[in-house]
Amino acid sequence: MARRTPPTVDPEQLGDLIRQSQEKMAQPPLPEQSTTQQVMAGFAGAYKAWLDALSAHPDKMVDLQSRYMQEQMNLWANAMQGSKAEGAAETDKRFTAPEWSELPVFRYFRDSYLAASKTLMQAVETAELDAATKQRMRFFMRQYLDAAAPSNYLLTNPEALRAAIDSRGETLQEGMKNLLADLEKGRISMTDEKAFEVGKNVGVSTGAVVFENELMQLIQYTPLTPKVHELPLVMVPPCINKFYIMDLQPANSLVRYAVEQGHTVFMVSWRNVKQAQDKLTWDDYVEKGVIAALEEARRICGTKEVNALGFCIGGTLVGCALAVLEKKGKNFVPCVTLLTTLLDFTEVGEIRVYIDKNFVEKREKQLKEGGLVAGNELAGAFSSLRANDLVWNYVVNNYLKGKAPPAFDLLFWNSDATNLPGPMYAYYLRNTYQDNKLAKPDALKMCGVPVSLKRVKIPAFVFAAREDHIVPWKGGYASARTLGGPVTFVLGASGHIAGTINPPVHKKRSHWVGSSKLDADPQKWLDKAKEVPGSWWTPWTKWLKPQAGKLVPARTKLGGGKRKPIEPAPGRYVKERAET
């Protein structure tokens, strides 16, 4: 077979593409970029404090500089002599390709960058700063170093250069097209979005929308067993993303798994709010979202009680709803499951660097009377917490190497962000991340009553993920301790999503089970906990089964009473994209 000769790029066409990208980048910033400006102002203060701290101890800086210069000279000598990668270069996936070792100059680019990164991070750790400023400076420095990596730039990335030469420039042309397309969308493409369609190959569990209001649709799923547990289970997903993270595809669907276990599952599908809903509040999400869903599921199934499950901020909303119902003497939820959920916001991880007092106050002024918080703004903030994996990896592959991102259902979901109404978002920032009032009994009023999680005395199953960068597991552990009833705490391996969406059939990862007595120190709990191979879904099923009621014949029709099916699952709300 004759070898295909790659086409030579038309210089004029490539020039047009470059000019188009420059024009796009020169356009006025989007309104939500004011958030970035506010965050950078906070980093400026941390940077000044860092410089002042270093100036106060010049001897430490001289020592760091001396060791750095000596290391640079050694690196250059080693690079010229053809020494192989050692230490960090061997494990850093940005530099593991053979091209980084084949030519001395690129070997030096790599090793020099890693040495500089180590020195600058040491300079941050050495500086005498208060804990909050050091955390911010540490984060800022890592963001800077991640962006400065030689792998991110064409002329210092030997893999991208080789691909450009081998393709006679075709990869450069494709990369520029990818860049223009992403500039048009306002975000970096992480997956082939054309490969997925909600309701066609993701979010495909059979069911129907049986209730809707201005804020959410309620989906009821078709039974898969001849008998079901009497009490239905209402799932509440995070409202900053779409619900189908819990129903990606049959093989990794928590919805399908729960239905196969004999549960009548209902799902809240949050609306991707538009201007008409920009004044909705936190109370609206609690009352019109969670409580309405629980009441409708109970009414449709004709039961006095209904169980609840909340994921991430969906779990926070469920906790608030239960506290409201408890105070009103109307709690009809006998048990609750909380997945990677914060109720106590003392330990929130690096997202804290974005949310300081000044940021919260400015966002309150901007949003308390109304307005929308774009889903892309929130998604960008969370992606920055793992910039190498969720930002620069795609910059290199999409733009420098000209590759189309592969089809991946999880990343398709990750790009399908949801807008939030300003008042709801401002309330959330102020009362949880900033003031941590939810963890304090009766410090907050919701839906007209003071709330206390300690009054929520029902059994709870609380899951956290050990490498979670959004809800750190120790924060999840502290949150479990805010509840007033018996808690079964389970810790899973991996991160926020991969740790949670981990079906038993895949036989992946481990989970840890330990004492039901949750002392103040989470590390002591973990030290005594038992590691169990496989998914946490299995112990959750065993825990939920005896609390889900007796087995009854499966319901043959969806809906009930006045609630008739409105449309097939997954419904209209989930198909609305944030940019539409």
Contact indicator for 571, 269 with CB cutoff of 8 Å: yes
CA-based nearest residue to 307, from 256, 270, 266, 253: 266
Catalytic-labelled residue, pool 239, 301, 312, 320: 312
Q: Confirm whether 335 is a catalytic residue.
A: no
Helix or strand holding residue 339 (H, E): strand 336-339
552 Cβ partners below 8 Å, 6+ apart? 227, 228, 229, 230
Residue 556: count of CB within 10 angstroms of its CB = 7
Distances (CA, A) of 427 to 362, 364, 422, 424, 435: 13, 8, 9, 5, 11
* Secondary element (H or E) of residue 446: strand 444-446
**The amino acid at 230:** E
Q: Which amino acid is at 117?
A: S
492: exposed, middle or buried (C-beta count within 10 Å: 0-12, 13-18, 19+)?
buried
Displacement of CA 515 from its chain's centroid (Å): 28
CB distance 484 to 455 below 8 Å: yes
Write down the residue that tokens 């201005």 correspond to.
Answer: 214
SS3 of 474-540: HHHHHHHCCCCCCEEEEEECCCCCCCCCCCHHHCCCEEEECCCCCCCCHHHHHHHCEEEECCCHHHH
CA 172 to chain centre: 31
Q: What six digits make up the tokens of 421?
A: 């109404």
Rounded CA-CA distance 531/523 in Å is: 14
For tokens 């500086």, name the residue: 127
Active-site annotation, residues:
312
